[in-house]
Amino acid sequence: MSNASAHSRPRHANSPFRPQAEVAIEEFAAGDRVCHDSHGLGRVVSIDAGGATVDFGGSTLRIETPFRKMTKL
């Protein structure tokens, strides 16, 4: 079963609904200070194609891309 909202569909010209805006995904580099919604403040240790390794003080976690819950400070 596929999710209909995951695929872009043609928009009817008279539609009362606004098209969904694409969410800009931030790019991070090693050493960046970040804030994660669940884990709090941290520092990016390394970046690769699939995600980022972030040191949150008490623990080091790998955060998968896209980084929707993480923002650069």
Give the pLDDT confidence of 6-31 residue by residue, as tens digits: 566 777 778 788 777 766 667 899 99
Give the pLDDT confidence of 28-38 residue by residue, as tens digits: 999 999 999 99
- Report d(CA 59, CA 37) in Å as an integer: 15
Residue 73: CA count within 13 A, CB half-sphere: 12
Higher pLDDT, 64 or 5: 64
pLDDT at position 55 is 97
Average pLDDT estimate for 43-72: 92
Is there a contact between 71 and 40 (Cβ–Cβ < 8 Å)? Answer: no
Predicted TM-score (pTM) of the model is: 0.67
